Amino acid sequence: MSTKLNVNQLQDGLCTRRFGRSILFSREVDSTNKWAKELATYGASEGTVVIAETQTKGRGRLDREWISPTGGLWFSLILRPNLSPTETVKLTFVAGLAVTKVLREMFDLKTETKWPNDVLVNGRKICGVLAEMNTTGETVNFVVVGVGVNVNFDVENVFPEQLKKVATSLEKEVGRKVKLEKLFRALLERLENLYELFIKEGFNPILEEWKNYAGFLGCKVEVTGPTGKMSGVALDVDYEGALVLRLEDGTVKRVFVGDVSVRA
Ligand code: BTN
């Protein structure tokens, strides 16, 4: 099976109202999020998607590099929700949940969500989500939701040493290459579905389902944040998307930014 994206098949049988009705494709781009932000600034409508076969400067959270070889699914979706700036973080959960559910349904994988934006299989990261917004004061002009899924490549051959231990790909977990275009369409359909649920019914149904897949809840974790490391038990993720942590001295703290690693 070809690992190259077939641009002509991206919309074949796509069952969405708005998401992916307009798709822009490039073989190589610096970052699909950057591209989508430029398009959104020029007025691209909600649901517009940009997708690339490879990214030369893919970006992750906290401005980290996101390695994006051929064979992965790297795309960004433009949204124009009527939300306050602080609420846009919830879109990360919408997208993470969509990926978690689609990978479970299509490949029967025991995917898990990890706060705030990861999808894991067998404890290793298979997908990351990066939501970036553009605001004027308290008005959100647009949000770009970037989704990166490691699909048809072997992390052992592609990733640097430190990532090989913590990352995985669909090819590795399923034992074969998968059809990128089919996965892409399923993700867009589920994204639209859950986004509409979120807009109609609020964050609660999304969060409750996201927590059902959150294997780290109840575990001892280490959180690396902007001000250093903290250890404790991950008690909950709350209505604002904050991680609720019981520190070793018994105090309970809400954490808004950081990386979680589960301790043995
Ligand atoms: C993370 O886990 O830190 C988020 C990773 C997000 C990667 C995706 S790939 C498509 C889009 N374009 C980017 O530059 N980043 C996102």
183-215, pLDDT tens digit by residue? 999 999 999 999 999 999 999 999 999 999 999
Residue 227 CA, ligand 1 centroid: distance in Å: 23
Using CB distances shorter than 6 Å, the residues near ligand 1 are: 31-33, 55, 58-61, 64, 66, 68, 74-76, 117-118, 128-130, 146-148
Residue 199 CA, ligand 1 centroid: distance in Å: 23
Would you state the pLDDT for residue 212?
98
Residue 151 CA, ligand 1 centroid: distance in Å: 14
- Look at residue 222 and tell me whether its pLDDT is greater than 80: yes
61-90 per-position pLDDT tens digit: 989 999 999 999 999 999 999 999 999 999
Confidence (pTM):
0.97
Residue 58 CA, ligand 1 centroid: distance in Å: 6
Atom of ligand 1 nearest to the CA of 75: 10
Residue whose C-alpha is closest to residue 97's, from 145, 136, 141, 64: 145
Task: Quote the radius of gyration of the chain (alpha carbons, Å).
Answer: 18
Q: What is the mean pLDDT of the chain?
A: 96
91-124 per-position pLDDT tens digit: 999 999 999 999 999 999 999 999 999 999 999 9
Atom 2 of ligand 1: nearest residue by CA position: 128
Q: How many CA atoms lie within 13 A of 250 on its CB side?
A: 0
- In the structure encoding, which two tokens stand for residue 254, read together? 């809400």
Residue 99 CA, ligand 1 centroid: distance in Å: 13
Distance CA 161, CA 177 (A): 23
Domains in the chain, CATH or no CATH each: 7-212 (3.30.930.10), 220-262 (2.30.30.100)
Name residue, tokens 């964050």. 203
Q: Which residues pair with 65 in a beta bridge?
A: 59
Q: Specify the 3-state DSSP secondary structure of 95.
A: helix
String of DSSP letters for 38-87: HHHHTTPPTT-EEEEEEESS-B-GGG-B--B-TTSEEEEEEE-----GGG
118-144 per-position pLDDT tens digit: 999 999 999 999 999 999 999 999 999
Atom 16 of ligand 1: nearest residue by CA position: 146
Q: Give the DSSP H/E element, type plus range, for residue 185.
A: helix 180-201
Structure confidence at residue 11 as a pLDDT band (50, 70, 90) = very high
